[in-house]
Amino acid sequence: MEIIHLLYAFGVTGFALTLFFLLLFILLAALRKKYLPDKKKAAAWKAFCFLPLLIALLHCILFAAGPMFLHILPFYLPIYIPALLIALYPLLSVKKPLRLACTPLVFTACLVCSFLSLYSDRISDYSDQSLSKAYLSLCDLFERSYILSDWKKTDYNRLREEGLALIRNSEQSGDLTDYYRALDLFVESFHDGHMDLTIYDKPEYFMDKYKSFHDYGLSLLTLDDGTTIAVNVDEGLPIKEGDIITRWNGVPVDEAAAAVAPPFTTPLTENEKILKMFFLAGTGEESVTVTYLNPDGEELSIELERSERPLSRASQSLNLFTHSYYEEDFAEYKMLNADTAYLAVEIEEIDPLSDALGYVTGDHKAAREKYRSILRGLRNEGMRKLVIDARNNSGGYDEVATALASLFTREKIYAFSLGCMDGHSPKNLTDHYVLPDGEFSDIKVLVLTNMGCSSAGDGLVLYLSRIDGITVAGLSDPEGINQETGGRAYLPGGVEICYPVGLILDADGNPNIDCDDTRMSRNSVDIKIPLDREAALKIFRREDYELEWAVETLKKSG
């Protein structure tokens, strides 16, 4: 059923063609000895060897040729490579030593390409259309194929109307800025972290978005008690690290932040509030008026001048808040003290072959054994408690996540289902589970997550949270996405839009983890790690406050 899911998600064309090429090659290889002695039959045999290449060329003309050819071509190589090898087969198999090696090599290449075609991205190319027509084609594509349209209650009529209004400006002026803005707003409207806009012809478009936010020497962060403080403050400012900020340019900070549109979106409203506050500190003109409380509780206002900065302070502050920066002494796993170990899981990938096998079988044995070996080593060093760090986990294969989780439970636990869309209704094709292994079920586990944890990382957090005795904690919930990526739409102006195509369902038949139109988390932490002034100061001093909190929490648990 996993194969059927892939065919629904990525389409049957590539798989059908490569499977046909494979079967044709088997036939041609079998007939080679019989036909080669006869010149006429040999000529016919060689002509048939060119059939896959002719089909591949026709496919290329229909689906790849156009302005974005070089970007599209790599995704069709699983179709074109076996076609080319079969065309060369008569030449490669002339001499006996080469012939003996050539047949199994071409067969293997065809077989591998047939398998790879199951995972080849679904391509839609509108790059040779006019701006307006391409945008309407994009809207039609998403209304027809985007797997979360109903879940997110997407209003495509509104998107068409608002997008075309901007695009017509570009068509009249010849300046593509409004066209790119329309596509940017289109992608942002879905609040889907698996959707991505790339503009090859004008990459500076995104840099310009960041440049619209300035630097006034500080960033802002809201604490659990609702107060907003200054963080990442330049030395020499009257405002100091941790001072309470009450107004930005005369507007209460909460009200001012609500009106900010960050240069990128995030699915959950609660996580977006953090972004908005960081970027609020970049809004203004040549100067801004900031109102704050001094240590005596006196409310003062100061005018801060805009300064030049090569990198966005808001982005830097976000990286500090999420610990998304290089650490020289980083280790994937280690002992933190005599009985508490640390395991960082940054991605759910092992190697392409075992990942693919784990996906189609629902049991990633290689991942389980990798983590078993690591955890055995840590237990030999005295591990009785464990911190699993899933912060900023970029995702991968959920089967890696379930394999790791299986080491902590002796019960079979439902994880997720692979599905497809049956009209407008999700359809379950097969269920995947956290299988019972339980070698480390006696270990006390605390999982750390944050707003940078996404996709299969989001899944890892969810599956671990279902195991008795495991606690998930974070300053924020994970990003809130878990569907399978693989869709690509190409538009004029060097535009590529990526989007999810593989439907992952929960036990109720709804999309797994992904937020709906309410933008509320469906994978909340068990414990929200307290964020007070002292905690914030530690974070922006590059101390790992969350890890310290986790170790102390495990210590108190006995």
| Domain extent listing, the chain | 2-120, 219-322, 333-479+526-556
CATH number of 333-479+526-556: 3.90.226.10
Of 338, 392, 404, 422, the C-alpha closest to 365 is: 404
Q: Are 365 and 424 in contact (CB under 8 A)?
A: no
Q: Residue 5: pLDDT band by 50, 70, 90 thresholds?
A: low
Q: Are 436 and 407 in contact (CB under 8 A)?
A: no
Q: Which residues contact 550 (CB under 8 A, 6 or more apart)?
A: 387, 446, 448, 473
Instruction: Quote the pLDDT of residue 93.
Output: 66
Instruction: Quote the pLDDT of residue 3.
Output: 67
Instruction: Quote the pLDDT of residue 150.
Output: 93
Instruction: Quote the pLDDT of residue 293.
Output: 95
Q: Are 463 and 435 in contact (CB under 8 A)?
A: no
DSSP E strands in 315-412: the ranges are 333-335, 340-344, 385-389
Burial 107-124 (b: 16+ CB within 10 A, else e): bebbeebbbbbbbbbbbb
Query: What average pLDDT score do residues 432-438 get?
Result: 95
Query: What average pLDDT score do residues 509-523 get?
Result: 95
Question: Of 252-261, 352-361, 366-375, which gets the smallest average pLDDT?
Answer: 352-361
Average pLDDT, the chain: 92
Question: Of 12-16, 96-100, 300-304, 328-332, which gets the smallest average pLDDT?
Answer: 96-100
Task: Please give the share of the chain, as a percent, with pLDDT higher than 70.
Answer: 96
Sheet of strand 340-344: strand arrangement: 333-335, 340-344, 385-389, 444-449, 470-474, 527-528
pLDDT(103) > 90: no
Q: Give the whole-angstrom CA distance, residue 277 versus residue 457.
A: 25
Of 437, 430, 379, 453, the C-alpha closest to 403 is: 437
Burial 375-408 (b: 16+ CB within 10 A, else e): beebbeeebebbbbbbbbbebbbbbbbbbbbbbb
**CATH of the domain spanning 219-322, picked from 2.30.42.10, 3.40.50.300, 2.60.120.460, 3.40.50.720:** 2.30.42.10
Instruction: Quote the pLDDT of residue 116.
Output: 83
DSSP-assigned letters across all residues of 208-263: HHHHTS-B-S-EEEE-TTS-EEEESPPTT-SS-TTPEEEEETTEEHHHHHHT---S
pLDDT greater at residue 492 or residue 210: 492
The backbone torsions φ and ψ at residue 398, rounded to the nearest 5 degrees and listed phi first, read -60, -25
* Each residue's pLDDT tens digit, 360-375: 899 999 999 999 999 9
pLDDT(29) > 90: no
Q: Give the whole-angstrom CA distance, residue 195 versus residue 141.
A: 14
Q: Give the whole-angstrom CA distance, residue 64 versus residue 11.
A: 16
Distance of CA 297 to the CA centre of its chain: 44
Q: Are 210 and 312 in contact (CB under 8 A)?
A: yes
